[in-house]
Structure 1
Amino acid sequence: MSADLPDELQDVEVSSPSDDETRESDTDRGDGDGDPDEFEDFVVFAVGDRRLAVSVDAVRNIVTVGATTRVPRAASAIDGIMDLRGEITAIIDARSHFPTRAAEPATSDQRIIVFDMPQGRQSAGIRVDAVEGVELFPLKYVTPSETVDDEAADHPLVAALLHRVENGEKTDPVGLVDVEGIVEASGPVGQSDDAPSNVS
């Protein structure tokens, strides 16, 4: 079950705990063979009826949706640009890559997940229908999508599936989004794409 998104992740910097701050109650849980499980935090979000995630390490901050400025000749997946704390950030429309028939929620419910891009790269974020929270998943249940026969993994931008085990049963999978892949697939800002940038 998703934890509520902590207030400190709204409109501020996001940081993952250091090794020294790792919660003992989580790392001490093992699978019965005496070895503790390793866990990682993921930001879980919704696009239509899809549940997707990115590692907390890939997220700089999470902000409410503000006014964007359209850029002439920008790729079709780019909503526009926003000035976030003095940095011009390209905003990607998640629905352009994960089409859905579900109605788009009110802007007040949507969020922008700003990626922690390498220095020198264009700042980028993705507009999603909702951010559900931060969930802790055991790394042993992070399964590369190419090794899984599951509809949730059948998408070129889903790198892996995340599961947990509750009451002896695996939970429904959450698709781990390839951050670099979605930024590249969205196309450049300020230059039209000759072919559609949607990936489906």
Structure 2
Amino acid sequence: MPPFDQYLSPQAQQAVIAGLFLSVGWWVVALQNRRRDATLRAERVRDVQRAVFAEIRAYLAVLKRDNVGEYGAGIKDRILTEPGFFPVIPTEHNDAIFRAIIGDIHVLPRDTVDPVVLYYSQLNAISAMISDLRELDVAEIGAQRAAGMYHDYISMKIEALELGEIALEAIRANLDGRRRGYRRTINSPASDRSDR
């Protein structure tokens, strides 16, 4: 077989070599761009998870500090024993960060998205219950029913506390690279209750 340079002129050989260099260069640039994009995406995932983690942790700290179960039991007793009493229930906005990043929720790993969405769905249910409780007429429905509705509201907050703990563990496991530990947590009895 004749040598390669016998078929091509020197200019054609240079063009072939230049083309090879260009294609190798494009390949290297493409790899660098993919590596850079993967790094930027990983940073974005970490940033979103940290922001959501901080928001969830802040609300859970309030629920624990206020000992919501004990407080709710005391208010329920007052509804039943003090004629016409019903507490003022403030509006809650514990999902500002989540609402701000909802467009980026797809960047989170599935192991994190599921428990986070369950937690924030519970907060939406609590907001709906707050609206219902604010329109409640205790004189019309009676103290027993009003106390029952208030008890349900407190139960929803307690469940939000449990779901929040599961979401925090999922985020923590993902940030630490311990996804297996999270899988054990999500299959716990508390998560079974939230699935119902």
TM over 0.5: no
Per the normalisation by structure 1, the TM-score is 0.30
Higher strand proportion (structure 1 or 2): 1
When normalised by structure 2's length, the TM-score is 0.30
| Structure with the greater alpha carbon radius of gyration | 2
